[in-house]
Amino acid sequence: MDRATETKKNNGMDLATELKKGNKRAAARLISMIENQDRKAEEILKDCWSHRTKSRIIGITGPPGSGKSTLVDQLAKHLLKEKKKIGIIAVDPTSPITGGAFLGDRVRMAELNGEPDIFIRSMGTRGALGGISKSVSGAVRVLEVLGMDDIFIETVGIGQSEVDVAGIADIVVLVTVPGMGDDIQTEKAGILEVADVIVVNKADHDGVRQAVQHLKALIVQNAEKMSVEAPIGIVSTVASSGFGIPELITAMEAHYLQKADSGAADQIRRDRIKQELLAQIQLRFWKEFEEYDRRNSAVDQRLGAIVSADANPYSEAVELLKEFMEWRRTENNY
């Protein structure tokens, strides 16, 4: 395996040191290790925990085809001019089987990664129990250590995607396009509760004005659910030409400042770290349980009886957990 060799070549200490120095290749390797659930990644992250920058985490969400990637690229280019260091994590709805990234993203990555102060990474949604959100959290951590000022997380949907940016981002930007159809319009009513800024992208297409008016009406209708101090911003953009990008940056900054002043940003940060702690607990639980199962074939032994309805999964789950705890105590190998 190529990756295994790579991991060996870069032992824990070196990667941590390089990462703290801002080495992007070290960051890329560490993220690969996180994706491959390499135990050493954890050791390195542990070592770097106190070296994190207080990065702004910006969730960019919207349906496929709304132009999220182009928009993020434009934002990144503008923020680069302000001497910001930018990280981009693009969560791809890749194949659950091959886990491959898209050709389009590879091209994009090659282009943007050429900039010294940009780091961009695609992450696929590869099966397993909640694997991707843990990988994304880990990647955010890596980019914090790398010293990024702004970290963009690009993902499809809010509340329906496995990576729920609303739970981890300081600012949430929802990207829409004119004429998305009634059901999307309706869904927005829910999204209004978590979005800080709504972008109507492709504003050179028909129906922009109606889209903006519809959004404003939705906001008025749902006013009681929303923050009075920082009403949702609506910005029209044409990501492909850069139109509206400075306005979008201004809107994002206004929201971030408001959240920082009110203490909301600190609370979000605390919640984010709590989620990470809980995710680590779950990760470790499954690691240990899988080890137990590997040695005892505990799950497979019980599965037959459940399939044939001689046993049920509820009682068997209780028994398995009990047995695992007992095994863990007597083996005492953790």
The footprint of a second copy on residues 130-189 (CB under 8 A) is 130, 156-162, 164, 166-167, 180-181, 183-184, 186-187, 189
Q: Which of 117, 149, 247, 276 lies at the binding interface for a second copy (CB under 8 A)? A: 276
Measured from the CB atom, the residue of 48 and 79 that comes closer to a second copy is 48
Measured from the CB atom, the residue of 79 and 197 that comes closer to a second copy is 197
The C-alpha atoms of residue 64 and residue 175 are separated, in whole angstroms, by 10
Measured from the CB atom, the residue of 22 and 190 that comes closer to a second copy is 190
Instruction: State yes or no: residue 191 binds a second copy (CB under 8 A).
Output: yes
Strands 118-124 and 197-200 come out as unpaired
- Which amino acid, residue 266? D
Q: Which of 334, 287, 278 is nearest to 134 (CA)?
A: 278
Measured from the CB atom, the residue of 82 and 319 that comes closer to a second copy is 319
Instruction: State yes or no: residue 50 binds a second copy (CB under 8 A).
Output: yes
**From 61-69, 209-217, 240-248, 255-263, span contacting a second copy (CB under 8 A):** 61-69
Are the CB atoms for 217 and 209 separated by under 8 Å?
no
Q: Which of 14, 117, 193, 291 lies at the binding interface for a second copy (CB under 8 A)? A: 193
Task: Tell me the three state secondary structure of residue 110.
Answer: helix
Q: Which of 36, 40, 42, 31 is nearest to 8 (CA)?
A: 40
> Minimum distance from CB of 83 to a second copy (Å)?
25
Question: What residues between 2 and 41 interact with a second copy by CB under 8 A?
Answer: none
Question: What residues between 217 and 256 interact with a second copy by CB under 8 A?
Answer: 225
Site of tokens 């070592």: 47
235: alpha, beta or left, given left = phi > 0 and alpha = psi -120 to 50?
beta
The C-alpha atoms of residue 176 and residue 184 are separated, in whole angstroms, by 9
> Minimum distance from CB of 61 to a second copy (Å)?
11
Site of tokens 């389009």: 104
